[in-house]
Amino acid sequence: MGVRTTMKSVWERLAGVEAAAAGDVIVGERKTAMLPSILSPYQVGRTGQNALPKPTPANLRKFAETPVVRRAINVVKDKIASMDWQVRVRRGYSEATVEDAAARMVVLRRCLEEPNASDSFRVLWEQVIEDLLVGGFGAVEMEATRDSERPFHLWAVDGATIQIDSRWDGDPEKPRYAQATGQLGRDGLVPLLDDELMYLRLNPRTHTPFGLGRLEVAFETVNQFLSANRYAGRLASNSVVQYALWLNEATPEQHDRLIRWWQDEIEGTGRVPLLSCEQKPEVLRFAGGTDADLRLQWQEALIRMIANAFELPPMLLGLQGDVNRSTAGEMADEAFQSAVVPVAKLVAEHITRDLFAKKLGWREFEFCFNDLASRDEMEELQIQTALLSAGVLTVDEVRQMRGLGPLQSEEVTQ
């Protein structure tokens, strides 16, 4: 067998030509690789479970505690966590055709308002959104109960400890995730099925199973800002010396005597130093002695880059030099649409898909935030009134958009 024949047979096996000819192709099976070979998963813990760790969570969380980054995170997190929300029937269904729709929506809302014994809706999702913005990893454990009044419990999970099996083939009986507990032996990894963990990824990409957090994008910029801020603080507190004294024609003995006298009698005492010598000492300055030495314009440029990484206008991070009354409202609306709305919709989609559909099997319902359509209450009211007048929407549909229940008809009330 020649080289050409050998290469042809190898290529046919790799391309699946022989399998196709034999009729063994599985319909609907994926043919492409999920990750490139450079990021192929490695074996950890249990046999057959491949996982990839998420890097640098400690440094990311340390940077998240700095003032500028904390402000950027809170602008998005607090807005989403404090939004009004509702559980409603999904598009394509109606309450008349869904069995016990009203009762089940009440159960879903009660469980979301009290997801576990210690957390509320806001406390739970503040933790998840924090991880989502910091590292692109938001995780919620979902456990079903046998109580019809409370069918599930939710717990926030440290997303940095979650490892992903990139070779998961969609089998609901096989673990898709695992949590690294830091313990040795079998307890080191806790396997989790696909319907046991809600894993939120920000900025998903094809070359990695992990998301990309906004703080990860601004990581280098935040590091530079902290360095510049520390230097400016030392400079402003006089801990960095910016000048020197030049003594002309002084002997080494006189030089050492002056240093000891200054350190023992003058430095830190607030006394007025008195010098008597033939030649007046000259002060040599190493800097200009102005605010330009603090590099304030460089720090302002770094804050703008941090704001860009978080998709926020610099105005919301304290830079108001280029803002006036006519542009402030537009910048606030732009920040809401670019920074808040995408994250809020991502959270709502995961609750609908992972919790309602996968965990409970209730695909007739969806979760949504009521404040995403419009930030201006009067503008939203005018739009809904116009749609009512034109007959496009009914009163019950408008009430549903505002998170209210339908009006009872006269026949029902009688």
Q: What pLDDT score does 247 carry?
A: 75
Direct distance between the N- and C-terminal alpha carbons of the chain, in angstroms, rounded to an integer: 90
Q: What pLDDT score does 114 carry?
A: 94
- Above 60 in pLDDT, residue 26? no
- Is 213 within 8 Å of 133 (Cβ atoms)? yes
Which of the residue ranges 52-56, 272-276, 306-310 would you say has the lowest mean pLDDT?
52-56
Q: What pLDDT score does 55 carry?
A: 47
Give φ, ψ of 43 to 5 degrees.
-80, 130
Length of the chain: 414
> 3-state class of 166 per DSSP?
coil
- Structural domain boundaries enclosing 389: 374-414
- H-helix or E-strand containing 192? strand 189-192
**Residue 250 and residue 350 share a domain:** no
**Residue 188 and residue 116 share a domain:** yes
47-60 residue pLDDT tens = 444 554 444 788 89
Q: Which pLDDT band, with edges at 50, 70 and 90, does 4 fall under? A: low
Q: What pLDDT score does 2 carry?
A: 63
Comparison of pLDDT for 335 and 185, the residue scoring more: 335
- For residue 2, being part of any structural domain is answered with no
Give φ, ψ of 127 to 5 degrees.
-65, -40
**Residue 258 and residue 124 share a domain:** no
**Residue 365 and residue 276 share a domain:** no
Q: What pLDDT score does 38 carry?
A: 44
**Residue 270 and residue 126 share a domain:** no
- The domain tally of the chain equals 3
**Residue 270 and residue 390 share a domain:** no
353-374 residue pLDDT tens = 999 999 999 999 999 998 886 5
Q: Which pLDDT band, with edges at 50, 70 and 90, does 408 fall under? A: low
Q: What pLDDT score does 153 carry?
A: 95
Give the separation between CA 394 and CA 389, rounded to whole angstroms. 9
**Residue 315 and residue 191 share a domain:** yes
- For residue 299, being part of any structural domain is answered with no
Answering whether pTM is above 0.85, one says: no
> 3-state class of 196 per DSSP?
coil
Comparison of pLDDT for 145 and 398, the residue scoring more: 145
**Residue 138 and residue 74 share a domain:** yes
Mean pLDDT of 188-208: 92
Q: What pLDDT score does 106 carry?
A: 93
**Residue 382 and residue 349 share a domain:** no
